[in-house]
Chain A
Amino acid sequence: MKILGISAYYHDSAAALIEDGKIIAAAQEERFTRLKNDSQFPENAIKYCINEACIKLSDLDAIVFYDKPFLKFERLLDTYFDNAPKGLISFITAMPIWLKEKLFLKTTLKKSLTEIDHNINWKKTELLFSKHHLSHAASAFFATNFDDAAILTIDGVGEWATTSIAVGNKNNIATLVEQHYPDSVGLLYSAFTYFLGFEVNSGEYKVMGLAPYAMPEDELVQLYMNKITSEIVTIFDDGSIKLNKNYFKYSTSLKMIDEKKFEKLFGLKTRKKTDNLSFQHCALAQALQQVLEEIMLNLLQKAKELTKSKTLCMAGGVALNCVANGKIKESGLFENVYIQPAAGDAGGALGAALAAYYLHFKKERIYTNEFDLMQNSKLGPSYNSLEIKRAIENSKLNFLAFNYQELIAKSAELLNQGKIIGWFQGRAEFGPRALGSRSILANPLLNNTQSDLNLKVKKRESFRPFAPIMLEYEFEKFYSQTYSSPYMLFVHKIRPEFRHEFKQETEFDLIKTINQKRSVLPAITHIDYTSRIQTVNETNDKKLFDLLNEFKKQTNYGILVNTSFNINNEPIVCSPQDAINCFLKTEIDCLVLDNYLITK
């Protein structure tokens, strides 16, 4: 049975194809169109998925969209009526789009899909719609080998649900409790993202990266936490929340917050994108992080109480908060914690397909001997040696072809010399993280790596940390952890013996603070000694495993910096040509495409 899942029209559209429960392919549209978070109908991603499976659209048994437009429209109308006459302008802006397009999504989808394959027969191929949070839940639970699990999904909003606790059992998922719009943990986080001068829906992880520049015990952080919990959000023990709607505008306008009220409460101006970051901004980000963690831990306690399961599966945009994930892991509340690597809406495409396979068609659950069914999230396009060589030759760049062993040795040597390498291998990753297929690798031992990468290569804010990719068998040695973390979704502190003492400045200076060496691995150790770690073993990525071992032979450390192969505000590279373009636009020193080494 072949099923295609689609997510589109809101943000980050994607397609995923499964065959008899096995994931064949999944990709985000942005990787093909080169438009960050492209929300258009994912025509290229769909074409890629069906080509990868060597089938036609008309061979599919079902196509599943990741949420239910009628329910969403009902929520929209309900909200407008609740708030009327406030929101009239927003209502007038939104209605034509809904009445013209979004409400007729089934027709629109059929039309777009028929354009790809005129032979599609809608009596044979079913067009289904899965609930948004059910899609998330399915993307997490059905991608694992666990027989039962508590499933927590948290994001901005789906149809009505903003958070859900469900229980997964073999081929079934049952929703137990839901938090409904407008009370939303995701929207609360996005509101502060906006107030702190970052872009909603894409800047949330910057807020997470900013938080550690203030300590949770700092007086100002405590003050802000009190303000948030007494004025903006009421937190209940069962994990539910109530937002004070006087502070928010997202229900009635195209703005997230009432800026004046936020400014009065925190004594801070709404930060513009180009404004300098002060300690107050960092303290507010830290206070928000603390509040988020409190809510998440309450939710998990409730999930544990309701399901009694040893395993937790998580998805939804908030599940990408790796700092909270690390705390959840360390809390020991659940023996196993699995987070869908494509936890955002793109992953909803995969979840919708899996939900249809198990819940609609009631198929038997399938399992693998591997870590999960995600194949290390390398579900995107790959290019053969001939295509790669042609792209290199067309670029007129200098290149050398190596055999496997030579390439590993040469790459490790270059990294040891402090060179920054664009690393392009095999199938592209599905989800927001580069996991070694479309990555930029660098030496974590050098002091200047972080600033060089941020300013010369990624062209992004200097405060943002980089993540390490490391040999799994050394995870315990450096971070006291023994589990597999192949998706870079958990944050842990480096062991004290590797840390460097931190000199507290009397006056807050972000740049000085960033430049302080925090450990023997300065490029990947954040200000609070934490790192967002990806572990590699021989089975999940042999080439990277060998590279890390070779780097270890030369330096004693089996750890590298791994950041996504893109520049700020561009999607991660997909094709060899994208990689060459990015290489030429930045100060990346070398590019490794398959077994070819390119220099400038």
Chain B
Amino acid sequence: MDFLKDFWAFVTNQKKWWLVPIILALIVFGLLITFAENSAVATFIYPLF
């Protein structure tokens, strides 16, 4: 939560809106990889890719 709050403050303060979709995509992709490696969600992820 701390990270999201600080990131939002940074984006609004510096007006770096272009970073929002990129960071979100990178984090979602990162999370997917982590889940795909380690959890039961893997079964649902593999058919998608």
Determine whether the beta carbon of A70 is less than 8 Å from that of B10.
yes
B2 touches A107 (CB 8 A): yes
Asked if B26 contacts A99 (CB within 8 A), the reply is yes
A85 CA / B37 CA spacing, docked (Å):
28
Q: Place the interface of chain B in its size category.
A: 10 to 19
Interchain CA distance A96-B27 in the complex, whole Å: 10
Q: Provide the A71-114 mask, 1 if CB < 8 A to any CB of B, else 0.
A: 10010010000000000000000011001100110110000000
A77 vs chain B, min Cβ distance (A):
6
Cβ–Cβ < 8 Å partners of B3 in chain A: 103-104, 106-107
Chain B residues with CB under 8 Å of A107's CB are: 2-3
A residues in contact with B7, CB < 8 Å: 70
* A71–B11 CA distance with the chains assembled, in angstroms: 10
Give the contact-size bracket for chain A.
10 to 19
**Are A106 and B19 in contact, CB atoms less than 8 angstroms apart?**
no
Q: Which of A31-47 contact B (CB under 8 A)?
A: none
Contact at B6–A106, with CB atoms within 8 Å? yes
Contact A70 B6 (CB under 8 A): yes
**A77 and B19: CB pair below 8 A?**
yes
Binary interface encoding of chain A residues 282-306 relative to chain B, with 1 for a CB under 8 A from any of its CBs, else 0: 0000000000000000000000000
> Please, how many angstroms separate the alpha-carbon atoms of A109 and B30 in the complex?
22
B22 beta carbon closer than 8 Å to chain A: yes
> How far apart sit A77 and B20, CA to CA, in the bound complex (Å)?
12
* Cα of A95 to Cα of B14 in the assembled complex, Å: 22
* A427-447 contact mask (Cβ, 8 Å, vs B): 1 or 0: 000000000000000000000
Whether B30 pairs with A99 at a CB distance below 8 angstroms is yes
CB atoms of A106 and B30 under 8 A apart: no
A106: chain B residues at CB < 8 Å are 2-3, 6
> Could you tell me if A95 and B16 are in contact, using CB atoms closer than 8 angstroms?
no
**B 1-37 binary contact with A (CB < 8 Å = 1; else 0):** 0110011001000101001001000110010000000
- In the complex, chain A residues whose CB is within 8 Å of the CB of B16: 74
Given A74-B16, A74-B19, A99-B6 contact (CB < 8 Å): no
Give chain B residues whose Cβ lies under 8 Å from the Cβ of A100: 30
Residues of A within 8 Å of B26, CB to CB, are 95, 99
B27: chain A residues at CB < 8 Å are: 99
Contacts of B14 in A (CB 8 A): 71, 74
Question: Which B residue's beta carbon lies closest to that of A68?
Answer: B10
User: What distance in Å separates the Cβ of A81 from its nearest Cβ neighbour in chain B?
Assistant: 9
Docked pose: A534 CA to B43 CA in angstroms: 68
State in angstroms the CA–CA spacing of A199 and B19 once bound together.
34
C-alpha gap A259/B24 in the complex (Å)? 37
Q: Which residues of A contact B19 (CB under 8 A)?
A: 74, 77
A70 to B4, CA, bound (A): 12
Task: Point out the residues of chain A lying under 8 angstroms from B2, CB to CB.
Answer: 106-107
Q: Which residues of A, 164-186, contact B by the 8 Å Cβ criterion? A: none
Q: How far is the CA of A107 from the CA of B3 in the complex (A)?
A: 8
* Chain B window 33-47, contacts with chain A (Cβ cutoff 8 Å), 1 for yes, 0 for no: 000000000000000
Bound: A106/B2 CA distance, A: 8
**How far is B3's CA from A70's CA once the two chains are assembled, in angstroms?**
10
Q: How far is the CB of B10 from chain A (nearest CB, A)?
A: 4
CA of A93 to CA of B19 in the docked complex: distance in angstroms? Answer: 20
B residues within 8 A CB of A74? 14, 16, 19
In this complex, what residue of B is CB-closest to A122? B2
Interface centre among A70, A95, A96, A107 (most CB of B within 10 A): A70
Query: Which chain B residues lie closer than 8 Å to A104 at the CB level?
Result: 3
Contacts of B6 in A (CB 8 A): 70, 106
CB-CB under 8 A from A99, the residues of chain B are 26-27, 30
CA–CA, A96 to B30, complex, Å?
Answer: 8
Cα distance, A70 to B14, chains bound together (Å): 10
**Identity of the chain A residue whose Cβ is nearest the Cβ of B30 in the assembled complex:** A99
**Cα–Cα distance between A103 and B13 once the two chains are bound (Å):** 17
Q: Which chain A residue has the least Cβ–Cβ distance from B3?
A: A104
Q: Considering only CB atoms, which chain A residue lies closest to B27 in the complex?
A: A99
Q: List the interface of chain B (C-beta within 8 A of A).
A: 2-3, 6-7, 10, 14, 16, 19, 22, 26-27, 30
11 pairs, CB–CB < 8 Å, chain A vs chain B: A70-B6, A74-B14, A74-B19, A96-B30, A99-B26, A99-B30, A100-B30, A104-B3, A106-B2, A107-B2, A107-B3
Residues on A facing B (Cβ under 8 Å) = 70-71, 74, 77, 95-96, 99-100, 103-104, 106-107
Known: A77-B22, A106-B3. 14 other contacts (CB 8 A): A70-B6, A70-B7, A74-B14, A74-B16, A77-B19, A95-B26, A99-B26, A100-B30, A103-B3, A104-B3, A106-B2, A106-B6, A107-B2, A107-B3
